[in-house]
Structure 1
């Protein structure tokens, strides 16, 4: 029995499409798995393993969340450290620096392009700045900057692209998420860490205040 030529061609095209879909699905699954590991190791572990007071941890999350949701990738850890130094030594209001530095990893090599594009689109909408740069062009520009051999050149070029070329839409869009993100991060962390430590105190047959007195250390 002979099949029509068109049917064979359609079958081959369908097979190629299905194979491509399976490859993309597998790649997406691997990326999500890597992202989950990154979040667990870079963000969750520093919070749960810390013995700092709950308020210091919560403020650390708030600062890290704020910095991480601004278009400053490449210098975010330095910014968090500068804010900590001012807060600790000038304002006499310490927060947990390791947690703040960990939280800036919200924007990481996997998430930075889609997150920053959301900033740009949001800022353009809020400022009524016309149509934002399309995603493909944005991702291509970011990829070109990331491919520069010198890390310093990447930071300088990336900063120029985000804050000069794209300008206010990027800044306003980032702040639209950074401010509520920091507030939400503070309260969620306070609640999560308090509950986590109460569970640890109960497991040790201690009252929560007693557990705090023994285990919490000011930083």
Structure 2
């Protein structure tokens, strides 16, 4: 079940191979293991994608793709999972990461208003930056591991359930 569900949302491997943004990887993208969708490659890809989803940088997909290649994780799933943090979900996710950082560092959350200017970014790095980056790092590791373990478990559970259903169907046909 996870394989069929995941495959519905992934782009074709030819589309990814010819993507301009991913051309920096050259012929490495022709490695067949990067396109197979099995339990190992999917769980690695999901963990990698979630790990980089919490990084507050504009090139998360490249980092995810670059990490998926040596781990032989499913490349499209790894890149697609990064989009859990998209323009609509980033504010609440990054605010939650900031709250995690203030809790871990034991600092008081500071009131701030989001502004889109370089001045605000520089000022924020000094004030809320440490708590935000620590929170992003913790969320990155925790959710990356949870994603890996969770998808691995879900995949195994689904395979076992299908196996039992097939065995039960065979028993009913035989009797």
Alignment counterpart, residue 193 of structure 1, candidates 139, 155, 160: 155
Alignment counterpart, residue 122 of structure 1, candidates 69, 87, 100: 100
Mapping for residues 48-67 of structure 1, pairs under 5 Å: 51-67=36-52
TM-score (norm 2): 0.63
CA contact (8 A) 1:46 1:98 kept: no
2 CA distance for matches of 1:51 and 1:84?
A: 12
- The aligned counterpart of 2:67 is 83
TM-score (norm 1): 0.52
2 CA distance for matches of 1:108 and 1:123?
A: 21
Mapping for residues 46-195 of structure 1, pairs under 5 Å: 46=7, 51-72=36-57, 74-85=58-69, 88=70, 93-134=71-112, 137-138=113-114, 141=115, 144=116, 164=125, 166-195=128-157
Task: Please give the per-residue CA displacement for 1:34-86, whole angstroms capped at 9, x wherever unaligned.
Answer: xxxxxxxxxx63488785221111111111111112222x211011012123x
**Structure 1, unaligned stretches of length 5 or more?**
1-43, 146-156, 206-219
The 1:94–1:51 alpha-carbon spacing in structure 2 relative to 1, beyond 3 Å, is closer
The structural deviation recorded for 1:163 is 8.3
The structural deviation recorded for 1:106 is 1.4
1 CA distance for matches of 2:52 and 2:123?
A: 15
Task: Please give the per-residue CA displacement for 1:163-186, whole angstroms capped at 9, x wherever unaligned.
Answer: 845422111001221212111111
**Structure 2, unaligned stretches of length 5 or more?**
11-34, 168-175
CA RMSD of aligned residues (A): 3.1
- The aligned counterpart of 1:45 is 6
CA contact (8 A) 2:36 2:74 kept: no
**3-state DSSP of counterpart to 2:109:** coil
Give the count of matched residue pairs: 136
The 1:115–1:190 alpha-carbon spacing in structure 2 relative to 1, beyond 3 Å, is same
CA contact (8 A) 1:62 1:181 kept: yes
The structural deviation recorded for 1:125 is 2.8
CA contact (8 A) 1:59 1:186 kept: yes
